[in-house]
Structure 1
């Protein structure tokens, strides 16, 4: 359908049927699941604290890292490493569907230890995973997520074993969690503990006993995004949990340190892909089994 004369939908608007929905694991495995439907949003450069294993189920998705740009079509998988800066966008401005599971580092280390018989951090050099068996196993895991399957965790580990065996290397050739500069580890921990507080670059520099200029440069080099972006991203992630607990946009905005509801809604839309109101409407189940974001360090 063509847009009416003189009107073009902006990035801050959303399609009537666009949605981001949480489906937390019923077995308390710590595997968080996100389903995006008719996503019409382009996500700026960001990082995750966990591995992100995803499957495009409709349309196409472009993922850009510092080293590559991949176009993923329906029934193709992707994997993002912890701390790997990347952006995601639609192909040709067309909406797409996807599902993503967040897999925290201890889980991947447990699987890799059984494979390699040593303590290593799996690193995936390529984003796109073209493997019919992995796609089939992942699709089955997603499809049966709400079933009471006693072998569900075993099936997940089988999927991760295949993924690590065929596509991971031991020890990252770039940054790994344990190789982050101690000053930046300290700052990330400080930010994670104080997401609801007003934090300025000068405050962070005082914590680390370095100059603001040096800290900003070092943070960008180590993490891939500025400290303020890191703060906003993690504040918004945490606000999802608070939002589902309070069911109040106003209360969440206030509790999480946003200057007003308008700023909260704008940043929520930027990093999550839908407005807080739509997110609430699409996630009515409460937060009993919601796995909150775990600090990386």
Structure 2
């Protein structure tokens, strides 16, 4: 039987990369999108998700992938939950590899979110495990990352489908999104949103959901969490960050952060300290409660 836990960390050798090793039983990620690309391996159980308006299940041994900005969900596809290792990386890293491969496109289009590629899975697992050890060779880490991304592009990238003609609704949805991002720290109402975007409430809600796969209020919470991550990376305190991005208090930020990111803001801040071994000073999350690790030397 799995036990719920999550570990987040970064590495100085791979700037622009964040790592997550987790076991989730009851975690259910709401519709959300990353400003990074997500790439990882399911080690046990199965992860189910809705991606590009279809349902998928990523079983043990498969590779999960999500494009930047692509709305998706995540929940247990197995009664036992799932255990996985994920890598969240700046899109520029994949763009650079794509260019070095001689591809014309700036960012490769990976149409599938579940990839069945044993060699890629083994490379990613090896890289992820090495990144838990601060003594790992920078050359080896950078080589494994580059080789894995190149394999991803060469084996799984395809031509991006031709975009549909822009409709009035899409233009409206983009306008609403801009309003929400500009006013994310405010308590904006649907009436204000409709008035500022010059649309009826129903048309606004329908077109926004059709374009982004989620209603405006869900997008707003997601954007607040994204902005919170930026502020936390800059060194801002958690309580101060909560009010700065529009949450009532720190507890509201913590609940939303854990629901979307899978860890608490405190664990996220702790993981931003590079060269920390993943097994040291990292308490598991059990039933949503952080267990403090006792210092055996005292």
Once residues 288 and 203 of structure 1 are traced to their aligned partners in structure 2, the CA distance between those partners, rounded to angstroms, is 43
Q: Work out whether residues 13 and 138 of structure 2, in 8 Å CA contact, stay in contact via their aligned partners in 1.
A: no
Give the SS at the match of 1:23: strand
* Count of aligned residue pairs for this structure pair: 267
Residue 7 of structure 2 is aligned to residue 18 of structure 1 = no
Does the alignment pair 1:273 with 2:262? Answer: yes
Distance apart, 1:282 and its partner CA: 7.3
Partner of 2:48: 62
Specify which of 25, 39, 45 is matched with residue 31 of structure 2. Answer: 45
Q: d(CA) in 2 for partners of 1:181 and 1:190?
A: 14
CA RMSD of aligned residues (A): 3.2
In structure 2, relative to structure 1, the CA distance for the partners of 1:209 and 1:285 (3 Å cut) is: same
Distance verdict in 2 for CA 1:281–1:173, change over 3 Å = same
Per-residue deviation, residues 146-182 of structure 1 (Å, max 9, x unmatched): 424224333322211111111111224568xxxx945
One of 216, 227, 236 as aligned partner of 2:216: 227
Equivalent pair of 1:37/1:97 in contact (CA under 8 Å): yes
Residues 20-169 of structure 1 mapped to structure 2, 5 A cutoff: 20-27=6-13, 29-145=15-131, 146=134, 147-169=136-158
Q: Is contact 1:20–1:282 with CA below 8 Å preserved after alignment? A: no
Q: Is 1:257 paired with 2:246?
A: yes
SS at match of 2:10: coil
**1:207-232 per-position Cα deviation (integer Å, ceiling 9, x unaligned):** 54444443333222221112221110
Segments of 5+ residues of structure 1 without an aligned counterpart are 2-14, 290-297
Give yes or no for contact 1:122–1:172 (8 Å, CA) kept in 2.
no
Deviation at 1:48, TM superposition (A): 2.1
Q: Secondary structure of the residue that 2:64 maps to in structure 1?
A: strand
CA deviation after TM superposition for structure 1 residue 71, in Å: 2.5
| C-alpha contact 2:7 2:21 (8 A) present in aligned 1 | yes
Does the C-alpha gap of structure 1 residues 100 and 172 become closer, same or farther in structure 2, counting only changes over 3 Å?
farther
Matched residues in 1 for 2:171 and 2:125: separation? 39
State the alpha-carbon separation in 2 of the partners of residues 93 and 28 from structure 1: 35
Normalised TM-score (structure 2): 0.74
Query: Which stretches in structure 2 are left out of the alignment for 5+ residues?
Result: 276-298
